[in-house]
Amino acid sequence: MELPRRYGPWARASLACAVAVPLLYFAAQVTAQLGTPGYDWTRQLASELGSAGAPAAALFNIGMVATGVATIASAAGYKIALDAVDRSGLLSWLTALSLVSSGAATLWAGLNPLPDPAHNPGLWGLGTILFPLLLLLSLARVRGAGRMRLYLIITVALEAAFLLVSNGLLPIGVSIPAGVLQRVGAVLVYVPVAVGGIFLLRRV
């Protein structure tokens, strides 16, 4: 499918931002961790790298802000590209809005580092969790998207299991360190943004 000519370059640039989202998110953690002696990624949460007084807090928080901006910027590309491959209307809007929600939450967290009680964006970040499901629904009728849908089905199932385990609703008999659990959750919600961006770039 072809993108509308007047939107094509902007949509591709926007989808390129989507591809950058998990790279920015995890690069911020790696660079900040290198500057934080004694930090244990298995036990400690990512946000602790950006907390007040942390040696490399600025690196981490700038990375979170960049991740949030890139996520918000990717929303337009998703909306335009989804309309090009399948005019789903409402679903494409909801998918794009979920990215705005996710990006706003990440941006907010970067601008309000721990121990600020405002660090947790609460329901602002609901789109972070909903994005994989909304993208799956948006691609439900797209021909040639079978492998992408399979990836999203697996992701949504793992995300549901993750939420149950992390909230203590699904006992698994194994204690998973908080840092590991958080990184698993991050992979499940941030990587699909890039995978979907690559898929749409190839399709349009």
Of the candidates 125, 65, 75, 80, the residue with the CA atom closest to the CA atom of residue 99 = 75
Q: Terminal CA-to-CA distance of the chain, rounded, Å?
A: 5
In-domain check, residue 175:
yes
In-domain check, residue 151:
yes
pLDDT tens across 43-100, in order? Answer: 999 999 999 999 999 999 999 999 999 999 999 999 999 999 887 789 999 999 999 9
Q: What is the pLDDT of residue 169?
A: 77
pTM: 0.93
List the chain residues with pLDDT less than 70.
1-7, 173
Q: What is the pLDDT of residue 89?
A: 83
In-domain check, residue 76:
yes
In-domain check, residue 2:
no
Residues 6+ apart with CB under 8 A from 201: 12, 15, 16, 19, 81
Q: What is the pLDDT of residue 173?
A: 66
Q: Which helix (H) or strand (E) holds 34?
A: helix 8-34
In-domain check, residue 36:
yes
In-domain check, residue 62:
yes
Reduce the DSSP state of residue 195 to 3 states and report it.
Answer: helix
Task: Report the alpha-carbon distance of residue 3 to residue 14 in Å, rounded.
Answer: 13
- Strand stretches in 3-52, DSSP E: none
Cis preceding-peptide flag for 115 (omega within 30 of 0) = yes
Task: Assess contact for 104 and 70: CB atoms under 8 A.
Answer: no
State the DSSP string of 98-124. Answer: HHHHHHHHHHHHHHS-TT-GGG--GGG
Q: What is the pLDDT of residue 202?
A: 93
In-domain check, residue 1:
no
Number of domains in the chain: 1
Q: What is the pLDDT of residue 25?
A: 98
Of the candidates 145, 196, 197, 202, the residue with the CA atom closest to the CA atom of residue 14 = 197
Task: Report the alpha-carbon distance of residue 160 to residue 188 in Å, rounded.
Answer: 10
In-domain check, residue 3:
no
Q: What is the pLDDT of residue 122?
A: 83
Q: What is the pLDDT of residue 3?
A: 61
Provide the residue range defining the domain that includes 168. Answer: 8-203
